[in-house]
A and B are shown apart, each in its own frame.
Chain A
C-alpha cells in the first residue's frame, strides 16, 4: 500500500517545502532590517506584474526547462549528470558555428539546424563521461563536473583565439546575421492581438522547450527505451536479468541528457545574445539539478519548477535593483528553495506520511 496519495507526493510536498523556504527567507530579510512583505510584493510585481517581467521570467524558465529535463532523463537511469553547465556551453558553441558560418535564408531553417548542432555538441560533451562510466567505472559525478571546467576553458580559448572578430577587445563572437534572429514573444503575439513587451528576451525557444517536455514525457513513459532506462535506474541486476545492457542505457541516457542541456543554447545564444559570449550559461546547468529535484524528474514537474525558478531569478534581480537587499540575498533565497525542496525532502515527507496514515486509519 502506498503511504500517501500521489497528488500529495507531487503537489503537496513541494508546496510545503516552498512555504517553509519562504518563511525562512522572510526571517532572513527581517534580520537585515528590511520588510519581507514589501520584498515579496516587489518580486511578484517585478517578475509577474508586467509582460516585461513575464518575458524575463519565461526566458529564464526556458533555460531551466532544458537543463532540468537533461538532469531528469539521466536521473531516471540513476545517473547524476551535473555537467549540464558544460554541455550547455558546448551547445552554445555548436549554435554559434552554425549561425556564423552558414548563410541561412530563414530563421526557421536556421533554428532546426541550430537545434541539431546544439544537441550534437551537448551530446558529444556528455558522451565522454558516459563512456568512462559505462566502460571504466569512473564516477559520472566526478567526470561531468570536471568536464564543466574543461568546457569553460575550451570556450575561453575559442572566443579569445578563434572566434573573436578582428579588432574586437571583447571575448565574444561576432553578431549573428539578421536572418537567424529568432522571433521574440512580442513578434509572435502581435499577430493575435496581444501586445507583449518588446524588450523582453523570451522567444520562440520557449515553445521548443515545452515541446521537449512533451517529447521527454513520451520517451520515458511510453517507449521501450524509456522502459529500459527506468528499469535500469531502479535495479541494475534487474536490468541484467531482463537482458537490458547497462552499457547501452548509460550511453543513451547520457547522450539524450547532454543533447537536452546543449539545446538550451538556442535560447540564450541564438534567441537572446545573438552571439556567443563568455559565461553565456549563467549557471543554468546547475539550476537544472534543483529544477529536476523539485519536479520529481517528471517533465510536467520540471516545467512548473522551471517557471518557479524563472520567477525567483527575475524577481530576485528586481529586488536587487530597487531595494537595499543585496544581490547575495537572492542567492540565499534560491539556495533555501533548493535546500528545502531537494535535500530536506524527507523532513516534510515523513510527518506528512504519518498524517496521511493516521487519516486513513481514522477512516478504516
Chain B
C-alpha cells in the first residue's frame, strides 16, 4: 500500500496474506514490505500470528489468500525447498541441529552434492572460512554440536542459512536461550549481515531487542498487523500499547521489601538427575519472609532441578528447612504432597506438562495437587460441586477468561492457563511460593497481573523463590538476586547494586571477583 515511499525494490513483500485454522483466523489480510539491507522487527504477543506468518513465508503453511513477492517478483512458496531457493533462510527458536554431528556435517546436511560426502565437506570448509571472514562468524568446523554452547549453535544455524545463499534471514525468538552477552554478540552479527546487504526479519516479544536492533518494526495483534513504524520514531511504551491494545505498566510497582525471619534455608543441596549427572552442586540459600529471591541464569544450569527438588518432584541430598523444621529430601515425606502439606506452593516452569492436566476441565485442575483437601471430599467420592464453586470464585478473583470452569485447560490461552495455576497456588496462602518462569508464553496484560499477585503475596510476609531466565523479570520482581551457573550459585546481588552486564558475566560462569 505504502510501498511507493520505499525507493528500492523491497526484498520481501507480503500482500494481503490471510490464513485460518478452522474458525481461528491466525492471519488477517497482512501486508508488509521490507526494504533490502534492513532489520525488520515483528513483535506481538503469543498467539498474535507471528509464527504462522513466518511459517507461510517458509513454506510450512499455505496462505488461504494473498501473495508473496520477493525482490519484486511474485513467488510461490509451497515448501521449504522453494523458500531456500528463493533465498530465504530461517533460524528457529529450537535449533534443528544433529547433536552428534560436527558443525561441518550439520551445515551440509540436506545440501550435499552427490553421494560422496568428502567433496561436499571440503567445499563447505572453504565456504565456511570465507563466510567466517566476511561476517565474523567464527566457529570451529570440526566441533561436535553437543559440545559447543548455545550461542555457537545458533551461529551454526545462521551459517547453514548463509551456506544455502540466503539473502533474507528470519530469526524466531533468537535470544530466548542466550545470556545477555551472547545476545549482544548476536546483534553485532546481525548488524554486520545487514551492512553486507542481507535483509533480516527478527521475530520477538522482547521490546528491548526491537528498540536495540531493528530499523523498522511491525506490530501484530490477534492476527492483524496493527502498525508498521520506524523504530527511531517509537518507544517501548507505545509498542506495548499497540501490542495489547491498551496502556500497560511495564515496570512492576512495588514498595521496598521488609525481610523478616528466614522461611526457607538450603544447605549444601545436591541433585543428581536420572542420567546420573549432578545438576545442582551443593548450594546454600536463604529466603526470608516478605522477600522475593530471584534466581537468574541461562536455562539448563540447574535452576529447574532446584525448583523440582524443593517442590518434591525429585530427590536430592543436603538439607532444607522450612520455618526451622527440616524437610526430607528423599524417601517418605519428600513428595509433592508432603511439600504442600508443609505450606509450600509451586507454580512450575512448564504449566502444560506439570502444572495442569491439559485435558482436564478447569475445575478439575483447581484441585490438582490439592485433591486430598477435605473440602473437596464427600464420603468416598469427590465433592465436585464444592470444587466447581471454588473454581468459579478463583476464576472471578483472578479474572480468568473465558470465565468457564467447564472448559478444558488446553482451550485457555497461555496467560489464562497460568492464571489458573497461580490462583490455585497463591490462594492456598502458602508460607513459601516456588515460581518458575511465571510469565513464559504469557501475554503482556496477564504478565502485569501475575507479577502483581506475586508481589502481593510477598507483602503479606510470605517468602517467594523465583526462577526466571528473563533478566527483566528478575530485575522487576526480585528483592535479592542469586545467579546460577552449572549447578552452582555464582553470587548474590541486590538489584539496585548491580546491572545486566555484571549479572550476564555471572550467568556465563565468570565469578564475581574476576568481573
- CB-defined contacts of A1 to chain B, threshold 8 Å: 23-24, 411
Contact (Cβ within 8 A) A2 B23:
no
CA distance A323 to B409 in the complex (A): 54
Contact (Cβ within 8 A) A242 B23:
no
- CB-defined contacts of A24 to chain B, threshold 8 Å: none
Contact (Cβ within 8 A) A364 B23:
yes
Contact (Cβ within 8 A) A357 B23:
yes
Decide yes or no whether A175 CB sits under 8 A from chain B: no
Q: Mark B354-382, 1 if CB is under 8 A from A, else 0.
A: 11111110001001110110000100111
Stretch of A63-71, A128-136, A204-212, A220-228 at the chain-chain interface:
A220-228
CA distance A339 to B96 in the complex (A): 36
Decide yes or no whether A142 CB sits under 8 A from chain B: no
**Which residues of A234-273 are within 8 A (CB) of B?**
234-235, 237-238, 240-245
CA distance A234 to B409 in the complex (A): 12
Q: Main SS of chain A's interface residues?
A: helix
CB nearest to B368 among chain A residues: A242
Q: Residue among A224, A242, A364 with the most chain B CB within 10 A? A: A242
CA distance A283 to B229 in the complex (A): 70
Contact (Cβ within 8 A) A228 B371:
yes
Contact (Cβ within 8 A) B336 A240:
yes
Stretch of B128-136, B145-153, B245-253, B337-345 at the chain-chain interface:
B337-345
Contact sample, A vs B, 23 pairs, CB 8 Å cutoff = A2-B411, A223-B381, A224-B371, A224-B377, A224-B382, A228-B371, A230-B360, A231-B357, A231-B360, A234-B357, A237-B313, A237-B354, A238-B353, A238-B355, A238-B356, A240-B314, A242-B371, A243-B335, A243-B340, A357-B23, A361-B22, A361-B23, A364-B23
- CB-defined contacts of B311 to chain A, threshold 8 Å: 241
| Pick from A222, A243, A245, A361: contact of B382, CB under 8 Å | A222
CB distance from A120 to the nearest CB of B (A): 21
Number of A-B contacts (CB under 8 A): 79
CA distance A234 to B361 in the complex (A): 13
CA distance A218 to B382 in the complex (A): 10
Contact (Cβ within 8 A) B369 A241:
yes
Q: Mark A142-164, 1 if CB is under 8 A from B, else 0.
A: 00000000000000000000000
Decide yes or no whether A106 CB sits under 8 A from chain B: no
CB nearest to B313 among chain A residues: A240
CB distance from A271 to the nearest CB of B (A): 30
Decide yes or no whether A139 CB sits under 8 A from chain B: no
Contact (Cβ within 8 A) B381 A227:
no
CB nearest to B20 among chain A residues: A361
CB distance from A10 to the nearest CB of B (A): 15
CB distance from A132 to the nearest CB of B (A): 19
Contact (Cβ within 8 A) A357 B411:
no
Contact (Cβ within 8 A) B372 A235:
no
CB distance from A99 to the nearest CB of B (A): 31
Decide yes or no whether A198 CB sits under 8 A from chain B: no
CB distance from B112 to the nearest CB of A (A): 35
CB nearest to A232 among chain B residues: B357
- CB-defined contacts of A244 to chain B, threshold 8 Å: 337
Q: Residue among A2, A231, A235, A238 with the most chain B CB within 10 A? A: A238
Decide yes or no whether B207 CB sits under 8 A from chain A: no
Contact (Cβ within 8 A) A238 B354:
yes
Decide yes or no whether B312 CB sits under 8 A from chain A: yes
CB distance from A135 to the nearest CB of B (A): 15
CA distance A223 to B384 in the complex (A): 10
Contact (Cβ within 8 A) A243 B23:
no
| Pick from B23, B358, B411: contact of A234, CB under 8 Å | B358
Decide yes or no whether A327 CB sits under 8 A from chain B: no
Q: Give 20 new A-B contacts, CB below 8 A, not counting A1-B411, A3-B22, A224-B371.
A: A1-B24, A223-B380, A223-B382, A228-B371, A235-B354, A235-B357, A237-B313, A237-B350, A238-B356, A238-B368, A240-B313, A240-B336, A241-B336, A242-B336, A243-B336, A243-B369, A244-B337, A360-B22, A360-B23, A361-B23
| Pick from A3, A234, A237, A245: contact of B360, CB under 8 Å | A234
CA distance A245 to B331 in the complex (A): 12
CB nearest to B340 among chain A residues: A243
CA distance A184 to B316 in the complex (A): 60
CB nearest to B314 among chain A residues: A240
- CB-defined contacts of A227 to chain B, threshold 8 Å: 364, 367, 371, 382
Contact (Cβ within 8 A) B339 A243:
yes
- CB-defined contacts of A238 to chain B, threshold 8 Å: 353-357, 368
Decide yes or no whether B348 CB sits under 8 A from chain A: yes
CA distance A231 to B337 in the complex (A): 14
- CB-defined contacts of B364 to chain A, threshold 8 Å: 227
- CB-defined contacts of A243 to chain B, threshold 8 Å: 312, 335-340, 369
CA distance A223 to B376 in the complex (A): 11
Contact (Cβ within 8 A) B346 A241:
yes
CA distance A241 to B24 in the complex (A): 32
Decide yes or no whether B408 CB sits under 8 A from chain A: yes
CB nearest to B348 among chain A residues: A241
Q: Mark B291-333, 1 if CB is under 8 A from A, else 0.
A: 0000000000000000000011110000000000000000000
**Which residues of B32-81 are within 8 A (CB) of A?**
none
CB nearest to B346 among chain A residues: A241
| Pick from A218, A241, A357: contact of B313, CB under 8 Å | A241
CB nearest to B370 among chain A residues: A242
- CB-defined contacts of A231 to chain B, threshold 8 Å: 357, 360, 368
- CB-defined contacts of B356 to chain A, threshold 8 Å: 238
CB nearest to B21 among chain A residues: A357
- CB-defined contacts of A230 to chain B, threshold 8 Å: 357, 360
- CB-defined contacts of B24 to chain A, threshold 8 Å: 1
Q: Mark B279-293, 1 if CB is under 8 A from A, else 0.
A: 000000000000000
- CB-defined contacts of B377 to chain A, threshold 8 Å: 224
CB nearest to A354 among chain B residues: B22
CB distance from B371 to the nearest CB of A (A): 6
CA distance A230 to B355 in the complex (A): 15
- CB-defined contacts of B338 to chain A, threshold 8 Å: 243
CB distance from A74 to the nearest CB of B (A): 17
| Pick from A222, A223, A237, A357: contact of B22, CB under 8 Å | A357
Contact (Cβ within 8 A) B369 A234:
no
CB distance from A204 to the nearest CB of B (A): 26
CB distance from A357 to the nearest CB of B (A): 4
CA distance A224 to B311 in the complex (A): 22
Q: Mark A350-364, 1 if CB is under 8 A from B, else 0.
A: 000000010011001
CB distance from B386 to the nearest CB of A (A): 13
- CB-defined contacts of B358 to chain A, threshold 8 Å: 234-235
- CB-defined contacts of B353 to chain A, threshold 8 Å: 235, 237-238
Q: Residue among B336, B340, B364 with the most chain A CB within 10 A? A: B336
Q: Mark A98-127, 1 if CB is under 8 A from B, else 0.
A: 000000000000000000000000000000
